[in-house]
Amino acid sequence: MFSRARNFVINGGTFTVHNQTETAKQKNPPGYFSGMTHCPTSTATFTGREDILAILEQFFFPGHAAERTKVFHLHGLGGVGKTQTALEFRRKFKARFTAMYFISADQEYSLQGGYLDIARTNVAQTAESWEDGLSWLKTHEQNWLVIIDNADDPNIRLANYLPNCDHGNIIITSRNPELKHVADQNQELRDMLPNDGILLLLKHAFPGNYGLADQKEREEAAKIAIQLHHFPLALVQAGAYINKTKCLFEYLNKLENHREQLLRKDLDQARDKYYWSVYQTWSLSWEQLRQESKVFLSLCAHLHHEHIPRLLFERGVMNINHVIQLPFGPSNAIKEGKLILESFATSEMKWDGLKFDDMIAEIAAYSLLNIDNGGYMFHPLVHQWLKDMTKEENKQAIEGIMVLAFQGTFHQDHKFWQQLSPHYRALGNLNNSDYTVRYIIGLMWFNLDDLEAIVLWLPLLSIVMDVLGVENNFTAHFMSGLAMVSYMMGETTAALNLLQRSIAIFKRVMGEEHPTTLFIIRYHTMILSYEERINEALVLLQRAVEIAKRDIGDEHMITLSMIEILSKILPVEGKKDTTLAFLHIFSMLKMLINIEDLNTLAGTEGLAEILDDLERINEALGIFYHLDKTSRRVMCQQLASLQVGPGVVKAMQPEGIRSRFRRFRMKFRL
């Protein structure tokens, strides 16, 4: 009795039976509509990408039967043309597939809606679960193609939405290169080939008539394409603007003066229904990033777009508690730089590489940067977008970070200086930077023998003298450094004047016998001798040698180096006594310092030149031979841990020694 009753209600002595359906309908995923997986074709203006299409063809049609589902991952920047390339492949080879589906993966519910649509298309209109669509693909052993588009969200586990079977074909388009782990083959889509880029621009600038463009118009289009780095969306955007305003020959000027406005301007009309501008496309990625990732990108905006070394940030953290104390007072740049570097450090203020890697991975997931052999690089347009968006934000902070990275235990790493140099240059005008930044960056340029040093240092001299006074050790050091840079620039008179002033200060503050005073006198006499002011040089140098012998000893390297210079500038007939003294000191030095010490080796070259002048050829040849043989061994063993200046390193490179030795032998036809 009542065997079919589903629900009933008892009221007093009576009851009522309701014969109702037990199952309630599931709600459709947000955004679902019937036929949403219909696969569109590429736009009529699609251009180029023949190399990528050939790679896709070879992958999906290799000439033999597939044993598994074939999954291809096409990744790259937003706006580079991933979706259109996938659709062009579908258009060219649609006859080879039994069915084709297009699923948007920008949200997880979009993926679910897509598979639900496949189920309702192929199973039954009453299908309620997205898993039914996935199941249909698994069980139907056909040559279907599914394009999973815009799988950019790194939080979506895409593997859960890939049918696990032995048939079928899938193309994934994404900004996230890490999806390589779910694909059989990966391909990054980059800028277009130059000719293809020009053609794409013309197609949008002169729709329907691009083939009629004359030579001048093509040449102008080529210039525009270069400025836009042949980036597809930028070319489409520029072409549409040119078509609307008829300004082909004025566009470059507009781009130079109004780049941000032009690249931020959305498209009014687009056949592929992609209306976002280049900048808007990347801004969507920006909004998904955590704050620390945004801060990092704002720092990089002030650097060169290529080869930003990871060591810049790592060494900044390692030096965070070892700030050089300079007489300019507290540095706001260093203060701001330290605040940001703390986010890359542990609670003990040690470098946290794992935390930093997580941040880089988040940014790379949107293809906003590429990881490049211990560093990072940006597409030039992305880098310009970052500059336009962040403006002067964190400019002081990156200056402080670069100061921290340069100083401390790593201040003699010449290779690191060279890595940083394009980024120091990218900082641009530092006239408004604090004095510490200008001094330290000037020091880096000075150590690289770059004339940028004088641009930063010259305005600081009066400030140093005002703050510290003239009778100050730092003032004298700063003057002598500025003199060296001035001489490099060909400002001989200014250099000599600065040296004379610094020597006078050193004598008063430190004494004429102090090694620093003697070293600066040595440099002063070298310049005088280079300028053929020999008599002046001799007077100063002979006096300095006497003081050096008396107060710091015959064995001191400064004494030795001054005797070497003295021996070079004395008239040959008057050299013998000085040379004999030099030989004596050198023999003593060999007992005190290992003969493989680099400073000792540096001194031997000057000795050989003296012996050459005195026509003691065999002895000179013996020294050059020793120099060649020993320097090769020493440099191979010690170059990585050198604690000498870059000038000595350059002079002691084995190839330089060997070339001088060969020239010496050729001189005497040996």
Instruction: Please report which confidence band the pLDDT of residue 474 belongs to, taking 50, 70 and 90 as the band edges.
Output: confident
CB 313 within 8 A of CB 320: no
Neighbour-count burial of 396, counting CB atoms closer than 10 A to its CB (0-12 exposed, 13-18 middle, 19+ buried): buried
pLDDT in tens, 81-111: 999 999 999 999 999 999 999 999 989 999 9
Residue 624: is its pLDDT beyond 80? no
Listed in sequence order, the DSSP H helices in 348-491 are 353-364, 380-390, 395-406, 414-426, 435-447, 452-468, 473-488
Q: Could you write out the DSSP letters of every residue in 283-321? A: HHHHTTS-HHHHHHHHHHTTS-SS-EEHHHHHHHHHTTT
Give the residue, 624 or 189, on which the prediction is more confident.
189
Residue 126 has pLDDT above 70, yes or no: yes
Binned at pLDDT 50, 70 and 90, residue 449 comes out as: confident
Q: Find the helix or strand (DSSP H, E) in which 148 lies.
A: strand 145-149
What pLDDT does 549 receive? 87
Indicate the SS3 state at residue 281.
Answer: helix
Average pLDDT of the residues of the chain: 80
Q: How confident is the model at residue 146 (pLDDT cuts 50, 70, 90)?
A: very high
Q: What is the DSSP string of 90-133?
A: HHHTGGG-S-EEEEE-SSHHHHHHHHHHHHHHHT-TT---HHHH
Q: Which stretch of 116-130, 198-212, 279-293, 565-579 has the lowest confidence by average pLDDT?
A: 565-579
Residue 432 pLDDT grade (very low, low, confident, very high; cuts 50, 70, 90): confident
d(CA 368, CA 386): 10
Handedness of CA 426, 332, 460, 444 (dihedral sign): negative
Alpha carbons within 13 angstroms on the beta-carbon side of residue 35 total 1
How many Cα atoms sit within 13 Å of 415 on the Cβ side? 6
Using CA atoms, how far apart are residues 189 and 191, in angstroms rounded to an integer? 7
The pLDDT value recorded for residue 598 is 42
Tens digits of per-residue pLDDT, 259-298? 888 888 766 655 555 557 888 889 889 999 999 999 999 9
Structure token digits, residue 505: 């200060």
Burial 397-406 (b: 16+ CB within 10 A, else e): bbbbbbbbbb
Task: Please give the full DSSP string across 558-583, using - where no structure is assigned.
Answer: HHHHHHHHHHHHS-GGG-HHHHHHHH
4 — pLDDT class (breaks 50, 70, 90): very low
Residue 145 backbone dihedrals phi, psi, to 5 degrees: -125, 130
Mean pLDDT of 148-164: 92
**Nearest CA to 557 among 595, 600, 611, 587?**
600
Contact 262, 233 (CB under 8 A): no
Percent of the chain with pLDDT over 70: 78
160 contacts 182 by C-beta, under 8 angstroms: no
Average of per-residue pLDDT across 182-211: 92
CA pseudo-torsion sign 138, 142, 143, 146:
negative
What is the 8-class DSSP label of residue 625? H
598: its two tokens: 């680099």
Cα–Cα distance, 511 to 670 (Å, whole number): 49
Non-local (6+) Cβ contacts of 591 within 8 A are none
